[in-house]
Amino acid sequence: MFEAAIFDWDGTLADTRHPIVVSFHRALKENGLDVSTEYIERRIGIGASDTFREILRSQGHEVDEQLVKRLVARKSEIQVELADEVQLFGGARELLAELQGKVRVALASMNNRMVIGHLLKAKGVEDCFEVVMTGDRVAHSKPDPEIFLKTAEALGVKPENCVVFEDSIFGVKAAKAAGMSCIAVTTGVYSSDELQNEKADLVVKSLSDPKIAVFVMDKM
């Protein structure tokens, strides 16, 4: 029985791919670093800190945590500056509205609180979530299940009674490791086959897919 719906933000509820890529590139270039756009896109969902650490290691640099903090802070500043480019995906507002009062609704994003807080307010959806869990409140990035388990704990709901909405393989892995059901959308950079390979319970092309209502409502 579902008592809570937990949503990812980047690539799931909101089309943030371009602002994220631009913010990573600019923060890196300001520090004499850079990687391909694909490299960044394929890591959206694990959190900026771990992505920057991976980039430093991949280029033969020692991981300097102070540099990582500066890179994350700069990336966050740039992403906030680009907030006007962010749009909610079709069906997102309608689904969030449909779930209100029927299940507990939360957000669990590996982005940081400054960025998420700004975007939720800018897009007028901050009141849709009882709990907002962000990457700066957990010790481990997705695919570790920590962020989803902490969200369920904050809601007071058992993991097995939660359904997660995700777009990345990291998020699906985290949801399944947490013992939660998972609906995956192909609005991120991952294909239906990639998401199904991670054992998503349902894979859809958009949040307006009628199969979502059938899957969720039948278990409420």
* Each residue's pLDDT expressed in tens, for the chain with a length of 220 residues: 899 999 999 999 999 999 999 999 999 999 999 999 999 999 998 999 999 999 999 999 999 999 999 999 999 999 999 999 999 999 999 999 999 999 999 999 999 999 999 999 999 999 999 999 999 999 999 999 999 999 999 999 999 999 999 999 999 999 999 999 999 999 999 999 999 999 999 999 999 999 999 998 777 7
Q: Any catalytic annotation for residue 8?
A: yes
- For the chain, what percentages of helix, strand and coil (3-state, to nearest 5) are there? 50, 15, 35
Ordered alpha helix ranges (H), the chain: 17-29, 37-41, 48-58, 65-81, 92-99, 113-122, 146-155, 169-177, 192-197, 210-217
- What pLDDT score does 77 carry? 97
- What pLDDT score does 101 carry? 94
Q: Which fold has domain 4-16+86-217?
A: Rossmann fold (3.40.50)
State the CB neighbour count (10 A cutoff) for residue 92.
24
Fold identical between 4-16+86-217 and 17-84?
no
Cα 199 to chain centroid distance, Å, stands at 18
- What whole-number distance in Å separates Cα of residue 27 and Cα of residue 205? 32
| Residues linked to residue 56 through DSSP beta bridges, in sequence order | none
In the chain, where are the structural domains located?
4-16+86-217, 17-84
- CATH 1.10.1530.10 applies to domain 17-84: no
Length of the chain: 220
- What pLDDT score does 71 carry? 97
- Which listed residue (8, 10, 15, 167) is catalytic? 8
- What pLDDT score does 27 carry? 97
